[in-house]
Structure 1
Amino acid sequence: MAPDIEASDSTSNSNSDAKPHTSSSSTTAQNAITNHVGADDKKTTTTLKTRLTHSIAQLRDDVSLHYADIPILACCVVSGLCDSVAFNATGTFASMQTGNTIFLALGASSLPANQPTLWLRALVSILAFLLGCLAFSKSRHLHPQRKATLSISFLLQSSFIFTAAALAQTGIVPAFGKTLIATSMSDAQLAQHETDEDSPLVFIPLALLAFQFGGQIVTSRVLGFNEVPTNVLTSLYCDLLSDPGLLKGVRENPKRNRRVVAIVLIVLGGVVGGWLQRSRAGMSAALWIAGGIKFVIAVAWVAWRSKAVPKAVAVDGGEK
Structure 2
Amino acid sequence: MNSLRQFLMQEIDGSRASAPLTAYCFMTGFIDAVCFSAIFVWCAFQTGNSVQLALALARLFNGTHDLSFHLADQQALCSVLCFIFGAFIGRLGDKIGCKTRLWVTFGTFIQTIFTMAAAIAIWKSGQPSLSDTRADPAWSNALSFVCIGFMSASMGLQGIMGKRLNTQFTTTVVLTTTWCELMTEPQLFHFRRLVKARDHKVMAILFLFIGGFTGRAILDKIGSAGTLGVGTGIRFLITLSWLFVPTKKTPKN
The answer to whether the superposition gives a TM-score over 0.5 is yes
1:301 lines up with 2:220 in the alignment:
no
Partner of 1:106: 55
1:197 lines up with 2:139 in the alignment:
yes
1:136 lines up with 2:98 in the alignment:
no
C-alpha deviation, 1:287, in angstroms: 1.3
Unaligned runs of at least 5 residues, structure 1: 1-51, 314-320
Aligned length, in residue pairs: 247
Q: Distance in 1 between matches of 2:27 and 2:69?
A: 27
Partner of 1:318: none
Partner of 1:273: 215
Matches within 5 A, 1:62-73: 62-73=11-22
Q: TM-score, normalised by structure 2?
A: 0.87
Q: TM-score, normalised by structure 1?
A: 0.70
Seq. identity, %: 24
Q: Distance in 1 between matches of 2:165 and 2:103?
A: 12
Q: Distance in 2 between matches of 1:215 and 1:74?
A: 15
Specify the SS of the correspondent of 1:172.
Answer: helix
Partner of 1:56: 5
Q: Distance in 2 between matches of 1:79 and 1:308?
A: 30
Partner of 1:3: none
1:240 lines up with 2:182 in the alignment:
yes
C-alpha deviation, 1:244, in angstroms: 2.0
Distance 1:142 1:250, change over 3 A: farther
Q: Is the 8 A contact 1:228 1:258 kept in 2?
A: no
Distance 1:303 1:69, change over 3 A: closer
Letter in 1 for 2:13: S
Distance 1:310 1:242, change over 3 A: closer
Matches within 5 A, 1:1-320: 52-108=1-57, 109=59, 116-168=70-122, 171-175=123-127, 178=129, 194=137, 196-225=138-167, 227-249=169-191, 251-279=193-221, 281-310=222-251
Q: Distance in 1 between matches of 2:15 and 2:79?
A: 33
RMSD of Structure 2 on Structure 1 (CA)? 2.6
Letter in 1 for 2:153: F
User: Which is higher, the Rg of structure 1 or of structure 2?
Assistant: 1
Deviations 1:14-36 (A, max 9, x none): xxxxxxxxxxxxxxxxxxxxxxx
